[in-house]
Amino acid sequence: SSIIGEWLGEMKSRGLPFTPDCTLSKILADPVTVRQWNIDGLPADAFSIENGIIMSVTKRWPLMIDPQGQANKFIKLSKAGAQLKTIKASDATKKIQQTLEMGIRVGQPVLLENVLETLDPFLEPVLANQTYKDASGTLVIKLGETVIPFHQDFNLQLTTVIPNPHYAPEVSVKVTLLNFAITLSGLEDQLLVQTVETERPDLAEKKNQLVVQNAENQRKLAELQDEILYLLSNSEGNILDDTNLIDTLAVSKTTSETILVAVAEAEIAEKEIDETRAKYVPVAERGAILFFCISDLSLVDAMYQYSLSWFKALFLMATNAAEKSDDLDQRIANIINQSTYATYSNVCRSIFEVHKLMFSFTLCIKIQMGTGSVDLNQWRFLLAGGQLASGMAKPDASWLGESAWVEIINLATLPEYAGLDEHVASNVAAWRRLYDSPTPHEDQLPEPWHSKLNSFERLLVLRALRPDKCIPAVQSFVEEKLGRRFIEPPAFDLNAAFQDSTVQMPLIFVLSTGSDPVKGLLSYAETAGMSDKLDYISLGQGQGPKAEKLIKTGKEQGRWILLMNCHLFISWLTTLEKEVEDIDPQKTDPNFRLWLTSMPSPKFPVSVLQNGVKMTNEPPKGLRANMMATVQAMSSERFDATNKPNIWRKVMFGLLLFNSVILERRKFGPLGWNITYQFTEGDTDATLRQAELLVNDYEEVPYKVIAALTSEVNYGGRVTDNWDRRTMANVLTGFANPGVLDGGYSFSPSGTYRSIDAEDQDGYMEYLTGLPVNAGPEVFGLHDNADITCAQNDTYAMFRTILSLQPRASSGGGKSREEVLADTAKDILDKVPEPFNLEAVSDRYPTMYEESMNTVVQQECIRYNKMLRVVLKSLKDVIKALKGEVVMTAELEAMGTSLFNNEVPQMWSKVAYPSLKPLGTWVPDLLSRLNFIQRWIDHGKPQAFWISGFYFPQAFITGTLQNHARKHEIAIDTVSFAYKMQMHTFEGDACPSVSTPPEDGAYIYGLFIEGASWDADVQLLQESEAKVLFTQLPVVHMLPEQHRKPPSEGVYACPIYKTLARFGTLSTTGHSTNFVMVLDIPCSLDQPQPHWVKRGVAGLLSLNF
């Protein structure tokens, strides 16, 4: 369209005559042919019709990008009469070769489906049209070693389902690349046609009649004109004497006048039809928005696949189900509401709980964007945050954290928020009231901001100040715009899912850890009268033939077939796909249904997922729900087991509560566990069986044995992290000890969770029913701040997920996406220095036996240089690629997306130190690290070391031990660190308060602590202040000592990690990629080490802001 627009504009400026409304379809397309294409499955939108025209006239074989399968459907229907042969790129090479050879010999069309980004070399001569004439004059082509005759009617079409493939130039020049991926406007056109056909079939029929009538009239005119031209060219003598010609001219005049009247009438009728159709445009627009909301969900989870045909069927069903009304505007509003909720409820049935609010919010925002109510720059800030790392000085307010202030500075750069930073600085008390409020998402912002900003714009302020309350704020926003039902997903309904299925549509249970839909299915089969007609098998090696036989029997006899754990038999899933494709409704018993269960797997066949009915049924969430489900599932006899039933019940309840606690600790992220473990019901059963035997066989309950078996074997077998093993043992101590036998023993400080004297299952269920629905952090051994950490993690996880779904479109605020990228890349390039001069560094700090720090600084420079070279080169390349000077590779494109989304590009992360910072603060952090090393090079070894600035801090720690061992001539393996907290303070990467280095060891600074705080006055570990998640530790003296014995009490052995993620892997050096060392921090005897272990307290070198 833009090319045609340019040509027309150029011709107009030069005064050349042209047809004003010239389009590709008007010039090259025959309306009757196009109508036949539409009947054959070609979508009726202009974009698809232009693709059809190019397919019909191109000299090269078309390769169609077809993620929704529209081109496939069209080709199969339109070429069916010509005996189309279909093959897949995944078929055996021999089959592909034989099919191609046969097609070329006899002139049959061939469709090659599902091609990848590289094509089989065997296709080369066909794609390049390497035909020639042999000695007999026959047109031939050489395929491999075989020369075969080339039939002129042969036709090859290729399709790929990859939505955004990268084809090499040598492939692109041999084929005609056509993008059949649905566009927003294209889908609007298709849905408009569908809606009008449903709502006003009379108009649709009349439109078709007009197309046929106009085509017939044009044909008649063309025939008359051809006949007149023929008679004129063959007329001899005086043409006035040619009666045949005179009669033909007279007939032509009469006919053309009749046709002109008919055309004029048709134009009026068509205009009236188009005016009526236009009233249904809002329905089509909403439908297109809904589809594009769900089409990208596969990026979130491979199982979230939805086909266009499935959506169109759902949209049609919703249109028919919408409340009728004689008022057209009301009817349209009803269709829009019904289709929106139908999409929401159907998709919610098939996605996990954690993604349901994300989907509601995305749906809501896309609808708002359709009306122009959402500014794209504001939307980008909400998802990714800002890119500035500094600005106006933070006001003197201890409650306002550094990260919140940086976000406020960034927010103030948006036009609608100009002056926000100044207002916060000058009205600290008013903003603190909002910050301290338990419900800031419901409170009003300090004026004038509450009146000035709408409900969406207020979300951005909340993200900056209280990100932990963004989830309830998003719920309120969705409720305000779409209604409460869009934040209350419909309950799991197996019957409703079954009603939506057909013999061709398998029903797929998408599993999550702990879910077991089979019990529910068996119960439903009994209700439906199919319990004696349900066959099931768990898939695995060697089970393929059995499953195929079951499906065959099921189709013939109308049975339900359940194939469990499809993810365990990946190699057989292509066979499953073929089995589903080959189901013929005409030859299959209508009672047949195929049920599948599978964990999420990227290898699961997309076509089965897209056309199946997907369901998720997750286990109950929350401590109370988990406990109730576990206790209810137990047999009543279990409560009277052993020869000491009263003791056994209390021991059992303590272990069950422990199981629920360690499961729920996972939601707190690294505060709960360094690694998210998938504990199972089998772990619980084994623990209870062992405990039952021990209680029965011993006079006194052997709690130490129960604890050892539980924490080290049954659950501990899954726990691979040593610090998690320590946590497991400490948490278990509170639930398996002699105290649980005392009536009213508290498992939590508040006493809400306690040991009770219930005598049966009903007594425990009654107690559990009275527990809070949402358990507070106290029962898990965590501080109240853990809830804030958990809420923040949920917020940022949701925003990251939505960010990954955003299109690579313009930024929407003056600058295009490319301009924003170029500015960002150039800004970073200007700031990042050149690599260190290694020769100069080694000259100034040569390798010496007496000074290991010289080796440390050399190695740091080498590591940072490797990283700097990648950063600098990639920035220069991406700037050149944006200008078109070099090819924009997939790697550079991914880097550009990361820069635009305020994320650190993956190609940098691969060579960089571990970091969770967004790009906006990652770059200043990198510059601070380089500055620290440069100061060392320029001014000599520091008096105190910024441990956060080391690329590989373990080398510095080893170097400090080496220096001490060599100085005192003692074996290094007998030396370990003692730690002494100092009164010195520091700011950022500098520590001016330390003027001289210690006699032995080294001063370090730059450590943060999570889960607790440091009280400088009493020099002890203390509880965190409310809403303060991280605090700085003071300067620490690392003092090497020979044969040191760690103190048995009064200290907390605190693990130190590089990032908040805590979890790392062992590198080739034998060091963890994240764990650094253990720091002994003084703590009071009232709050000994087990207390802080349960709190999840850890030291950090770097935060995530």
Report the alpha-carbon distance of residue 407 to residue 458 in Å, rounded. 14
Position 811 scores a pLDDT of 46
* CA angle 977–983–986, rounded 5-degree value: 95
Q: What pTM does this model have?
A: 0.85
DSSP code per residue over 908-951:
HHTTSPP----HHHHHHHHHHHHHHHHHHHHH-S-SEEEGGG-S
Report the alpha-carbon distance of residue 176 to residue 58 in Å, rounded. 7
Report the alpha-carbon distance of residue 84 to residue 94 in Å, rounded. 18
For 840, phi then psi, to 5°, come to -65, -40
Beta strands in 435-566 (DSSP E): 507-510, 534-538, 560-564
Asked whether 535 and 554 are in contact (CB, 8 A), the reply is: yes
Beta strands in 759-819 (DSSP E): none
Report the alpha-carbon distance of residue 574 to residue 568 in Å, rounded. 13
* CA angle 315–320–323, rounded 5-degree value: 115
Position 814 scores a pLDDT of 56
> Quick one: tokens of 534?
């349900």
For 352, phi then psi, to 5°, come to -75, 155
Q: Would you mind telling me the total number of residues written for the chain in this entry?
A: 1105
The residue assigned the tokens 């439109």 is 207
Angle between helices 681-697 and 645-664 (to 10 degrees): 150
Residue 393 is classified by DSSP as P
DSSP code per residue over 397-466:
-TTS-HHHHHHHHHHTTSGGGTTHHHHHHH-HHHHHHHHH-S-TTTSPPSTTHHHHS-HHHHHHHHHHH-
Element (H, E) at 1039: strand 1036-1042
Asked whether 493 and 605 are in contact (CB, 8 A), the reply is: no
* CA angle 210–212–214, rounded 5-degree value: 65
At 809 the three-state DSSP class reads coil
| Strand duo 560-564 + 593-598: pairing | parallel
| Strand duo 1008-1010 + 1098-1100: pairing | antiparallel
Position 957 scores a pLDDT of 94
Report the alpha-carbon distance of residue 1037 to residue 1005 in Å, rounded. 9
> Quick one: tokens of 334?
């009803």
Helices (H), 136-183: 169-172
Distances (CA, A) of 381 to 799, 901, 1013: 10, 9, 31
Position 1070 scores a pLDDT of 65
- Neighbouring residues of 326: CB distance < 8 A, sequence distance ≥ 6: none
Report the alpha-carbon distance of residue 1059 to residue 1052 in Å, rounded. 20
Classify burial at 599, counting beta carbons within 10 Å of its beta carbon; exposed 0-12, middle 13-18, buried 19 or more: middle
Report the alpha-carbon distance of residue 873 to residue 883 in Å, rounded. 16
Position 347 scores a pLDDT of 93
Report the alpha-carbon distance of residue 563 to residue 35 in Å, rounded. 43
Position 183 scores a pLDDT of 83
Q: How far apart are the first and last CA of the chain?
A: 45
Asked whether 978 and 1080 are in contact (CB, 8 A), the reply is: yes
Report the alpha-carbon distance of residue 948 to residue 955 in Å, rounded. 13
> Quick one: tokens of 564?
């469990």
Amino acid at 684: T
The residue assigned the tokens 């191109």 is 58
Position 965 scores a pLDDT of 93
Position 808 scores a pLDDT of 63
Report the alpha-carbon distance of residue 457 to residue 455 in Å, rounded. 6
- Neighbouring residues of 849: CB distance < 8 A, sequence distance ≥ 6: 966
Which regions of the chain are under pLDDT 70?
389, 808-814, 988, 1066-1071
